[in-house]
Amino acid sequence: MLTAYRKSGDLQLLGELYEPYMPLIYGLCLKYFKDEVQAEDAVMHIFEQLISKLRIHEVTNFKSWLYTLARNHCLMEMRVAGKQSQIPIDNGFMENEPFLHPDNGEKGLEEQLNAMEQCLEKLNEEQQRCIRLFYLDGKCYKEIADITGYEPGKVKSYIQNGKRNLKICMESTTDD
């Protein structure tokens, strides 16, 4: 169905593709926004983003890609609104438990993001590259493997180990 949409641009096909994931996307948005109306609006905004993004991006794992798109949408909305109290680095309904960096009330969002960037810089080159491509650029494992030349199993390992090391670094930063 994804290929058919890419070729035709038929919104009916896109709607059929997106519909089974709407409850998951709504739940994800509700988790971030804690507001039903805002979560409903986000589900529709994400659909609108799909119209153009799916025509541009080569998506091999729609569920993972959609989750990343939705999470990034929520994070950007929260960042713009200045309401973020946690910095999630997770793969939610697909892989591991969420890694949440608690806001201890002393650091603002910018300080948290700066701390995360510093911790990201401390990762080895492979982990750093895979983490950036996966979480910040929304690439799937296969796309990362194609870009980097790493084996797909190594990509997954670099992401998991990088995520763990990032969590350890972030926790030590908050203990200081």
The pLDDT tens digits of the residues spanning 27-42 come to 999 998 898 999 999 9
Is the confidence at residue 150, as pLDDT, over 50?
A: yes
The pLDDT tens digits of the residues spanning 70-83 come to 999 998 888 887 74
pLDDT band at 89 (very low <50, low <70, confident <90, very high): low
- Token pair recorded at residue 65: 């890609």
Which domains, from first to last, does the chain contain? 1-84 (1.10.1740.10), 86-176 (1.10.10.10)
- Token pair recorded at residue 5: 């949409």
CA distances from 2 to 23, 52, 174 (A): 19, 13, 43
Residue 154: predicted pLDDT: 92
Dmax of the chain from CA atoms?
Answer: 55
Inter-axis angle of helices 62-81 and 36-56, to 10 degrees? Answer: 130
Residue 149: predicted pLDDT: 93
Residue 108: predicted pLDDT: 58
DSSP 3-state of 101 = strand
Let me know: does 54 contact 14? Beta carbons within 8 Å.
yes
Residue 158: predicted pLDDT: 92
Q: Is this model's pTM higher than 0.95 or not?
A: no
